[in-house]
Amino acid sequence: MKKDKTESAVPEHVAIIMDGNGRWAKERGWSRLKGHEEGAESVRVVVDACRKVGVKYLTLYAFSVENWVRPKAEIAGLMKLLDKFLTDREKDLHENDVRLRVTGRIEDLPLFVRRKLLKVMEATKDHKTGQLILALSYGGRTEIANAAKQIALLVKDGKLDPTKIDETTVAEHLYLPDVPDPDLMIRTSGEMRLSNFLLWQLSYAEFYISQKLWPDFREPEFLEAIEEYKGRRRRFGDVK
């Protein structure tokens, strides 16, 4: 959604590619899972920082569709870590009026994690102050292909005129059509790629690349990204 072509205020929606957990652990001679555990603390800090500065939506790229090729032990550890995060943070979500949501193929996740996610999402569904969105078993191309399939079925059933299909039609069939597009995308560890993350939604987002590895990305680094965003002018193709 286009906004005023002026100097940007606090972003309404921040999306983050949390990169560098494995490298952070390797530099210290620790297991990759230890890096993920420390990265979970950065998640806690950034969620709290969003509340402080007024960011309403925070989407975290937690597990991609491509991540299923990782070693089974690492995947199992990540799922247990997610389960623990939900257990530890549910109270905070309630206290801060934050709704938990998931974007991605939740059906791919282990049953114990799926149950916990559905439980917390149901318990927080009426919260209004903010939304924490976890991208789990998520892929941008998969999401767009899924939207195309839904649209094609509507056309096949005679419920949609193909000549009426436009950007709004596609957007309405994405995983979370009610969520505004991200204003700011942050990626840690210095990497300069999207990694199949929110390919449709990030079309007009401002990008901020941090050299910090995710476990070292804490409140000061997050606030630095917000301040840089505030100084940017978002023209959306205009010359003003």
Catalytic hit among 21, 67, 126, 166: 67
In this structure, the strands spanning 98-103 and 184-187 are unpaired
Residue 199 identity: L
146 is catalytic: no
Q: Which long-range contacts (CB under 8 A, 24 or more apart) does 24-31 make?
A: 24/213, 24/214, 24/215, 24/216
Catalytic hit among 19, 21, 181, 183: 19
Q: Is 46 helix (H, G, I), strand (E, B) or coil?
A: helix
3-state secondary structure 53-116: HCCCEEEEEEEEHHHHHCCHHHHHHHHHHHHHHHHHHHHHHHHCCEEEEEECCHHHCCHHHHHH
19 is catalytic: yes
Q: Provide the annotated active-site residues.
A: 19, 67
